[in-house]
Each structure stands twice: as structure tokens, then as C-alpha cells.
Amino acid sequence: MYRYGPNGTLNANHAVWGDFCDAFVKDMKPLYLLAFLLTANHRDAEQCFTTALEAASEATVFREWVRSWIRRTLIKVAIRRVLRRPSDNSEARDSWWDSGAGTSLLKVAQLGSLERFVFVIVVLERYSIKECSLLLDCTERAVVTASLHALKNLSANCAIPVSPATSGESCRFAGDTRVLGPAKTPAA
């Protein structure tokens, strides 16, 4: 896939730097919020945002894919920055987490690193369990387990409506048709 065709003519269906800049400007607040929820730290969120913006200068994607490319790149940068550290980033969280503010966003950011990443990627960004496991380089079972822990912690702390299945092995957000957990087969 090339941006420029023969004789240096631009392929109209490929994004140029201006397309990325427009998307970053238009979606700045949601992109920063995504970075912040993933990192639970303003300094790391700003670094992830900047790194994703720098990566866009060399990206070759279709114009229609710019926004999704940016979000996926931001997630990948945050994974490298936070989860690839030798220890959990809980000690790197901003100190104002201890202020007792009870908003849902703060509760998400207070989750452990893996649970927070899985919750943001699977529930908020709506990636599949398989895609999340590939991004995080872990098993699908680890993703399901982390998502269950995250949902249980959030439902207990924030009164987020979660509908548990009868066996307690899977649960879902109210209004969400995707079930997190092992597939159930009907009894014969």
C-alpha cells in the first residue's frame, strides 16, 4: 500500500498527514481519555498520545480507517508503556486517586493494570476477546478472567449494572448482548 502512485501522484483513498491531524484535533478529548483510562496516569497518557501522533506521520492507511488506526495505535502504545514494565503500574498512578472521588472513570482507573486494559479494550472499545488477547499477548481465558474481575469490582464499587449468568462464570453489562465467559451449550 503506497500513498503515492506513479509520477508522484497521490492516491486519493489513502490518508495524508492532514487527515491524521484533523482526526487528532477533532477527537482530542476522547483520545486523551482513552490514553488516561489505559495508563491511569496523566504523564503516561500524554506520552502515549504524543507517541501515537508521531507514529501517524509514517502511517499508510486508507482515509476511512484513520480514526480506528489512531485508537488502535494508542492502545498498543499504552500496552507497551504500562504492561511491559517489570511491575504493575499501581505505584505510578497519580496521587489524586486517593482523594475519594467516586466517579466511574476514577474507579476504572483504579483497577489493576490487566483488568483495566481488558475492561477498556473489551467493554469500552468493543474489541473481541480474541482481539484483546492478541493485543495483550495473553490467553483468551486470561482476558475473560480479567474482564470478570473488572466487572465485579466495578459493579461492587460503582453500582454499574452487571447481569451475572446463572452459574456465575460469565457476566455482561446491562444492555450488552455479548457474554464474557465460557460458551454454554444447551443440556441435551
pLDDT in tens, 13-54: 899 999 999 999 999 999 999 999 999 989 999 999 999 999
Q: Give yes or no for residue 174 having a pLDDT over 80.
A: no
The residue ranking higher by pLDDT, 53 or 164, is: 53
| Residue ending a domain, choose from 26, 54, 84 | 84
In this structure, the answer to whether residues 65 and 30 fall within a common structural domain is yes
pTM (2 d.p.): 0.73
| Residue ending a domain, choose from 84, 111, 140 | 84
Q: Give yes or no for residue 99 having a pLDDT over 70.
A: no
**Contact in structure between 125 and 150 (CB atoms under 8 Å):** no
In this structure, the answer to whether residues 77 and 127 fall within a common structural domain is no
DSSP letter, residue 180: B
Least confident among 121-130, 139-148, 151-160: 151-160
| Residue ending a domain, choose from 40, 59, 84 | 84
In this structure, the answer to whether residues 80 and 2 fall within a common structural domain is yes
At a CB cut-off of 8 Å and minimum separation 6, what does 133 contact? 139, 140, 142, 143
Residues in a beta bridge with 159: none
Q: What is the dihedral of CA 48, 52, 54, 56, to 10 degrees?
A: 180
Per the domain annotation, does 109 fall within a domain?
yes
Question: In which domain, by residue range, is 108 found?
Answer: 101-181
Q: Give yes or no for residue 175 having a pLDDT over 60.
A: no
Number of separate domains in the chain: 2
Tell the burial category of 147 from Cβ atoms under 10 Å away from its Cβ (0-12, 13-18, 19+): buried
Residues in a beta bridge with 164: 171
**Contact in structure between 121 and 110 (CB atoms under 8 Å):** no
**Contact in structure between 66 and 23 (CB atoms under 8 Å):** yes
Cα–Cα distance for residue pair 181/188, rounded to 1 Å: 21
In this structure, the answer to whether residues 59 and 4 fall within a common structural domain is yes
